[in-house]
Amino acid sequence: DNFKIVNDTYGHDAGDELLVSIADRLVKFTRPGDIVGRLGGDEFVVLSEYVDSDETVIKIAQRINEVMRKPFNSSNRIVYISASIGMAIGHGSTHSAEDLLRNSDAAMYMAKEHGRDGWYLFSSQIYENLVQKISITNGLKTAIELNEFHLVYQPVVATNSKIIKGAESLLRWNRAEGPVSPAYFIPLAELSGDIVSIGRWVFREACKTIARIQGEFQSNTPYTSINVSTRQLNEDGIVAEFKAILKETGAKPENIVIEITETSLMTDVHKNILVLNELADLGMRIAVDDFGTGYSSLLQLLKMPLSIIKIDREFIDGLDKKPQSRAITSAVTKMASVMDKKTIAEGVENEAQLFELQAQGCDMIQGFYFYRPMAVDEYIELLQNQKVSDTNDKPKVYTVIYVSRASESLTHNNIQEILEVARKRNAELCITGFLIFNNGYFMQFLEGRKEFIDTLLEKIVNDRRHDNVRIILSTFNKKRLFTDWTMGYWNMRDAGSEIDFSTWQKQTFNLLEISNDAKLCYAFFEAISSKKLS
Q: Does 183 bind ligand C2E (CB under 6 A)?
A: yes
Contact 10, 74 (CB under 8 A): yes
Spell out the alpha helix ranges (H) of 118-194.
124-143, 182-192
> What DSSP letter does each residue of 381-450 carry, written as one string?
HHHHHS-----PPPP-EEEEEEEEEESS---HHHHHHHHHHHHHHHHHHT-EEEEEEETTEEEEEEEE-H
Q: How would you label 312-346 residue by residue, b for 16+ Cβ within 10 Å and e otherwise?
A: bbebbbbbbeebebbbbbbebbeebeeeebbbbbb
Angle at 254 between CA 168 and CA 338, to 5 degrees: 80
Q: Which is nearer to ligand C2E, 83 or 311 (CB)?
A: 311
Residues in the chain: 534
Measure the CA–CA gap between 209 and 379, rounded to whole angstroms: 10
Q: Does 264 bind Ca ion (CB under 5 A)?
A: no
Measure the CA–CA gap between 430 and 398, rounded to whole angstroms: 11
Measure the CA–CA gap between 290 and 123, rounded to whole angstroms: 33
Binding mask 217-236 for ligand C2E (x = CB under 6 A): ----------x-x-------
Residue 372 CB, nearest distance to ligand C2E (Å)? 7
Q: Which is nearer to ligand C2E, 18 or 171 (CB)?
A: 171
- Binding part of the chain for ligand C2E, among 70-78, 108-116, 177-185, 507-515 by CB under 6 A, reads 177-185
Q: Which of 86, 292, 347, 448 binds ligand C2E (CB under 6 A)?
A: 347
DSSP code at position 374: B
Q: Which of 14, 143, 202, 359 binds ligand C2E (CB under 6 A)?
A: 202
Angle at 230 between CA 224 and CA 236, to 5 degrees: 100
Q: Does 259 bind Ca ion (CB under 5 A)?
A: yes
Q: Does 194 bind Ca ion (CB under 5 A)?
A: no
CA dihedral 227, 230, 234, 235 (to 10 degrees): -40
Number of residues that bind Ca ion (CB under 5 A): 5
Q: Which is nearer to ligand C2E, 289 or 484 (CB)?
A: 289
Contact 46, 60 (CB under 8 A): yes
Q: Which of 290, 356, 363, 447 binds Ca ion (CB under 5 A)?
A: 290
Q: Does 184 bind ligand C2E (CB under 6 A)?
A: no
Number of residues that bind ligand C2E (CB under 6 A): 20
Measure the CA–CA gap between 489 and 467, rounded to whole angstroms: 19
Amino acid sitting at position 187: P
How far from 116 is each of 101, 119, 333, CA to CA, in Å? 19, 8, 35
Residue 162 CB, nearest distance to Ca ion (Å)? 21
Q: Does 290 bind ligand C2E (CB under 6 A)?
A: yes
Measure the CA–CA gap between 416 and 419, rounded to whole angstroms: 5
Measure the CA–CA gap between 225 and 153, rounded to whole angstroms: 9
Angle at 255 between CA 253 and CA 261, to 5 degrees: 85
Site for Ca ion in 332-371 (CB under 5 A): 346
How do beta strands 364-366 and 149-158 pair? antiparallel
Q: Which is nearer to ligand C2E, 171 or 288 (CB)?
A: 171
Residue 472 makes CB contacts below 8 A (sequence gap 6+) with 401, 402, 403, 443, 515, 518, 521
Q: Which is nearer to ligand C2E, 232 or 444 (CB)?
A: 232
Binding partner of residue 349 among ligand C2E, Ca ion, none, CB cut-off 5 to 8 Å per kind: ligand C2E
Binding partner of residue 373 among Ca ion, ligand C2E, none, CB cut-off 5 to 8 Å per kind: ligand C2E
- Binding part of the chain for ligand C2E, among 341-349, 395-403, 420-428, 487-495 by CB under 6 A, reads 341-349
Q: Does 170 bind ligand C2E (CB under 6 A)?
A: yes
Q: Which is nearer to ligand C2E, 136 or 348 (CB)?
A: 348
Measure the CA–CA gap between 177 and 66, rounded to whole angstroms: 43
How many C-beta atoms surround the C-beta of residue 437 within 10 A?
20
Contact 17, 6 (CB under 8 A): no
Site for ligand C2E in 106-165 (CB under 6 A): 154
Q: What phi and psi values does residue 49 have, to the nearest 5 degrees?
A: -100, 165
Q: Which of 53, 94, 125, 181 binds ligand C2E (CB under 6 A)?
A: 181
Site for Ca ion in 216-255 (CB under 5 A): 227
Q: Which is nearer to ligand C2E, 107 or 309 (CB)?
A: 309
Residue 202 CB, nearest distance to ligand C2E (Å)? 4
Q: Does 320 bind Ca ion (CB under 5 A)?
A: no
Residue 114 CB, nearest distance to ligand C2E (Å)? 21
Q: Give me the residues paired with residue 407 across strands.
A: none
Residue 461 CB, nearest distance to ligand C2E (Å)? 39
- Nearest Cα residue to 306 out of 357, 249, 365, 266: 266
Binding partner of residue 186 among ligand C2E, Ca ion, none, CB cut-off 5 to 8 Å per kind: ligand C2E
Q: Does 186 bind ligand C2E (CB under 6 A)?
A: yes
Residue 396 CB, nearest distance to ligand C2E (Å)? 20
Q: Which is nearer to ligand C2E, 44 or 370 (CB)?
A: 370
Q: Which is nearer to Ca ion, 346 or 484 (CB)?
A: 346
Q: Which of 30, 112, 163, 182 binds ligand C2E (CB under 6 A)?
A: 182
Q: Which is nearer to ligand C2E, 200 or 465 (CB)?
A: 200
- Binding part of the chain for ligand C2E, among 16-24, 216-224, 343-351, 456-464 by CB under 6 A, reads 343-351
Chain positions contacting Ca ion, by CB under 5 A: 227, 259, 289-290, 346
Chain positions contacting ligand C2E, by CB under 6 A: 154, 170-171, 181-183, 186, 199, 202, 227, 229, 289-290, 347-349, 366-368, 373
